[in-house]
Amino acid sequence: MRILGFDTAAPTNSVGLVDGDRMLADCSWDARENSLQRIILNIDQVLKRGSSSLETIDGLAAGIGPGSWTGVRVGVTVAKILAYVTGKPLCGVTSFEALAYQGRNTDLQLCPLVDAGKETVYAAFYRAHGKALVRRGDFYVGDVKGLAQAVQEPTLFLGKPAHLHRQILATQLGPLASFGSPSDSPGGCAFAWIALPRFQRGETDDALSLAPLYLKESLAEALLKRRQAATGRPRQ
């Protein structure tokens, strides 16, 4: 199956095209304000490099976050439009899954981290079972010290925030903590490969109802609530 995967939730955006286990093309770039324009252009370029088109691929795999509040909305919106226009099946893939995919060949518990701002991280725990990633427990939102308290076994921390907070994790966890690549973007092909087994099983998402994974309110929503609380005016 040929799967087109892309993500705009991370600081590094990416598009990748796979055919089964083969990588056909992959492209990554620093996210900027023109994310929508660049994702469209790079999807076109990756398809051309992979000798494919939207008509010849078998499915779309889109990153749904968490990550940049605006960035993830761009990727999900593009995915929904492409799925609706082409009739191709769609799978949403979390940033956690894409980061955990980097550690799929280890027996350790996997803990991908995504920056949430102001010393806060998003995190989750996974286990690799064959080619599948199985999440253990709920998503985590909080500081790194609180996350460390939830670790009871050897754990591989993944993602750029893991390295930014490496000293805290290493100090609190000692030999229980190990660290993978500092990259914050696994590449578009990772999103496609994660979704591939789901496509093969027919487990796809509804394009109309696919939504970003928001684990905390946006800054705009938070400021609005504070303003309403200060003025005593209810939210419309």
Query: Residue 199 has what pLDDT?
Result: 97
Contacts of 35 (CB under 8 A, 6+ apart): 8, 13, 70, 71, 74
What tokens were used for 231? 């003025």
Q: What is the CATH number of the domain that holds 75?
A: 3.30.420.40
Pair (158, 110) in one structural domain: yes
Question: pLDDT tens for residues 133-174?
Answer: 999 999 999 999 999 999 999 999 999 999 999 999 999 999
User: In 3D, which of 68, 76, 73 has the Cα closest to residue 31?
Assistant: 68
Q: Residue 230: inside a domain, yes or no?
A: no
Pair (80, 165) in one structural domain: no
Pair (71, 116) in one structural domain: no
Per-residue pLDDT of the chain (236 residues; tens, 9 = 90+): 999 999 999 989 999 999 999 999 999 999 877 778 999 999 999 999 999 999 999 999 999 999 998 999 999 999 999 999 999 999 999 999 999 999 999 999 999 999 998 889 999 999 998 878 999 999 999 999 999 999 999 999 999 999 999 999 999 999 999 999 776 578 999 999 999 999 999 999 999 999 999 987 544 444 455 566 666 655 44
Pair (128, 23) in one structural domain: no
User: In 3D, which of 114, 118, 127, 125 has the Cα closest to residue 150?
Assistant: 125
Query: Residue 224 has what pLDDT?
Result: 53
What tokens were used for 173? 């966890």
Alpha-carbon distance of 18 to 192, in angstroms, equals: 7
Can you tell me whether residue 154 is helix, strand or coil? coil
Q: What percent of the chain has a predicted confidence (pLDDT) above 70?
A: 91
Query: Residue 39 has what pLDDT?
Result: 95
**Nearest-10 Cα torsion for 133, 138, 144, 145:** -120
Q: Residue 117: inside a domain, yes or no?
A: yes
Alpha-carbon distance of 47 to 39, in angstroms, equals: 12
Query: Residue 132 has what pLDDT?
Result: 87
Give the DSSP letter of residue 54: T
For the chain, how many structural domains are there in total? 2
Alpha-carbon distance of 61 to 16, in angstroms, equals: 10
Pair (123, 110) in one structural domain: yes
Q: What is the CATH number of the domain that holds 122?
A: 3.30.420
Residue with tokens 């985590």: 140
Domain span including residue 11: 2-95+185-220
pTM as predicted: 0.89
For residue 130, which amino acid is it? G
